[in-house]
Amino acid sequence: MKKVKAFLRLHSITIVLIVLLVVLTIAIKYFIYSFEESFIEGDLHRPEIQHVDKKVTPTQKTSQLEIDAIQSWMTFDYVNVAYKLPANYLKDILGINTPKYPNVRIDTYAKQSNIDQSLLLTTVQHYVRVYQNR
């Protein structure tokens, strides 16, 4: 027992380094696995750069965001910009009357107006889809 203790004390740093090496190997393995998984599932992709017509300059990007990606913590302002909606489109169509618009979270507005959060979110997604399919 004493010998083991003495050995451990003498080589403590080496033992910790070996453990770290094992942890590092696992971490690298896991990193590669999650990288491959993200690629296979399509979570990891570069935003497409499209030049729709001549009016769009080469430096302008038109990102193809999925409408389902809209979440209740997002603000109306962000939704307007990210999905390229006119500033007052959602305000008019949803009858939003808070003076804080568009700088207000979707869920905060739902709470203030006593509207079901998920219902409001679905409605916002619906009208964004309607605008984009015009």
Partner 1 sequence: MDFLAQTILPYILIYKYWALFVLTFLSSLAIPIPAGTLLIASSAFASQGYFNFFIILLVATIASIVGDNICYWVIRLYGRTVFDKFAFTRKILHSENSRLIQKKMKERPGFVIFISRFEAIATLSVNALCAFSEVSYRRYLAFEVLGSIGYVAFYGTLGYVFGDSWEAVNKLVGNFSIIVFVILISAGLLFWKRMLKKLKKEESLTLS
Helices and strands in the chain, H and E counts: 6, 0
Neighbours of 79 (CB within 10 A): 22
d(CA 20, CA 132): 52
Q: How far is the CB of 1 from partner 1 (least distance, A)?
A: 25
Q: How far is the CB of 38 from partner 1 (least distance, A)?
A: 4
Q: Specify the residue, 48 or 53, whose C-beta has the smaller distance to partner 1.
A: 48
Q: Specify the residue, 1 or 67, whose C-beta has the smaller distance to partner 1.
A: 67
d(CA 125, CA 134): 14
d(CA 100, CA 88): 13
Q: Specify the residue, 24 or 87, whose C-beta has the smaller distance to partner 1.
A: 24
User: Which residues form the interface with partner 1 (CB under 8 A)?
Assistant: 13-14, 16-17, 20-21, 23-24, 27-28, 30-31, 34-35, 38, 43-47, 61, 63-66, 69, 71, 73-75, 77-78, 81-82, 84, 103-105
